Amino acid sequence: MSEQKKYVMTYEGIKKLEDELEFLKTVKRKEITEKIKVALGYGDLSENSEYDEAKNEQAFVEGRIIQLENMLKNASVIDESEISADTVNIGSIVNVKDYEFDEEVEYSIVGSAEADVMKNKISNESPVGKALMGKKVGDVVDVVVPGGVCKYEILGIRRS
């Protein structure tokens, strides 16, 4: 039997997943049940696109519920008060100089389940996150990314 993946997360990430799970189980399930009832009222199911759409949405939501429950069951929570501000770790906020674009960027290092590139929350498993892990202020890292190699200098580290 294969080993279950552990999801390393912050308290904030756990709360976000719990909120989404609660919403899907309470609100979204009821909405889909109503859509199915309405679609059943249209008659012949073989040509009923509303019914097919509602059943597909139901399958997606049920799959997401199972995924969220699995992630929460296998979550390992990082105690942010125990995170060192001297080295980059999950839960750290890191200021780096991106030499390619000659700009400063701030990244939050999070577990893979919390990653959100649009909010500069990068996974510890991503190429950049992995390269920054364990490094200190002043360290320069070269990161192999799909577009080539990026060079970053760590300017500051703090806890979130």
**Domain coordinates of the chain in residue numbers?**
7-77, 87-159
Q: Give Cβ neighbours of residue 85 (< 8 Å, ≥ 6 apart).
A: 92, 157, 158, 159
Q: Tens of pLDDT along 93-123?
A: 999 999 988 999 999 999 888 899 899 999 9
Task: Calculate the dihedral angle through the C-alpha atoms of 10, 13, 18, 24, rounding to the nearest 10 degrees.
Answer: -160
Residue 17's nearest CA partner among 52, 69, 83 is 69
User: According to CATH, what is the number of the domain 87-159?
Assistant: 3.10.50.30
At residue 3 the predicted structure's pLDDT band, cuts being 50, 70 and 90, is low
Q: Is the pTM of this model over 0.85?
A: no
**Would 7-77 and 87-159 be classified into the same CATH topology?**
no
- Angle between the 29-40 and 49-73 helix axes, to the nearest 10 degrees? 160
User: What H or E segment, with its residue span, contains residue 53?
Assistant: helix 49-73
The matching CATH number, chosen from 1.10.287.180, 3.40.190.10, 3.40.50.300, 2.60.40.420, for 7-77 is 1.10.287.180
The pLDDT of residue 1 is: 46
Report, as an integer, the average pLDDT of 149-153.
93
Q: Tens of pLDDT along 29-79?
A: 999 999 999 988 887 777 888 899 999 999 999 999 999 999 999 998 887
